[in-house]
Amino acid sequence: MTRLNKYIADCGICSRREADRLIAEGRVTFNGLPAQSGMKVGEDDIIEIDKKRISPVEAKVVLAYNKPIGVTCTEKDRYAEKTITDAINYPIRLTYAGRLDKDSEGLMIMTNDGELIQQMMKGANRHEKEYIVKVDRTVTDSFIDGIKKGIYLAELDCTTRECEAQKLGKCAFRIVLTQGLNRQIRRMCQCFGYNIKSLVRVRVMNIELGDLKSGEYREITGDELDTLYRQCGISRNE
C-alpha cells in the first residue's frame, strides 16, 4: 500500500506537495469517488486526475534542458506563447524540478520521477542553484556584500538566505542560491537599484549546463545521475 500523494508522484505527475493540492481541489478520484488526503493505494485501486486514469511510470527519465528566453514554465496556459511542454516536445510526460521565469534562461531538470522532484524542491534541503547575471550598472563591492548577507523582500515579506556571490566583470556577477523564492534574483537586484539584462542558470546541484545549446536537452545518466539521487537522499531504485 502506498500513500496517495506518493502514488501520484510515482506516476510522474508532480511532487507530493503538488499532489496534496490536487487532492484538496477535488481533482483526484479514488475508485470513482472523491479522494481524501492520506488514503492508501493498492495495486487494484483506480486513481484518476481530471477524469484521466494514472499509473506509476515503469522507466524513470531525468533530463538536463537549456530553457530559452520566452518559454513559460507551465504545462498548460492558453496565454503563454510557448510552454515548456511544447518547447521540449519529449515523447513522455515530464515535469520540471524548479522553475525559471519567462525572461530567464538556462538549466532546468526535467523528470517523471515525482520523488526526485519532491526532494529537489524541498527548501529545507538547501540544494544549490548557480546563476550568471548581467545588470545595467557597474557591479560594486557593496552590492555584492549586500546580496551575500541577505535582503528583506517587502513584496514577499521575507528575508533571503545568506548566499555566495562573486563579481565577474564590470556589469556581471555569479550567485549561488539555496532557496527558490519567486523572481528572487530580480527582486534582490531591484533592492539595490539594479535591473537585470540577462539571467542564466548554469548549475543545479551537481548538474551543470556546460555546452548544452539553447533549446536542447540531454539525458542524465551514470555517475552524474547517481550523485544527483544521492544528494537528494533517495535511491534510484525506490
Q: Which three cell numbers stand for residue 152?
A: 528583506
With 0-12 CB in 10 A as exposed, 13-18 as middle and 19+ as buried, what is 15?
Answer: buried
Taken as a whole, the chain contains a residue count of: 238
- What are the C-alpha distances in Å from 84 to residues 76, 88, 136, 140, 236? 9, 6, 28, 35, 25
What's the DSSP call for residue 136? Answer: S
- What are the C-alpha distances in Å from 23 to residues 8, 11, 50, 72? 10, 15, 11, 25
What's the DSSP call for residue 100? Answer: -
- Rounded Cα–Cα distance for residues 18 and 13 (Å): 9
- Rounded Cα–Cα distance for residues 164 and 178 (Å): 9
**Strand 105-111 with 196-204, pairing:** parallel
Q: To which H or E segment does residue 191 belong?
A: helix 184-191
With 0-12 CB in 10 A as exposed, 13-18 as middle and 19+ as buried, what is 27?
Answer: middle
Q: Which three cell numbers stand for residue 157?
A: 515579506
Active-site hit among 77, 101, 141, 145 = 101
Is residue 145 part of the annotated active site? The answer reads no
Active site residues: 101
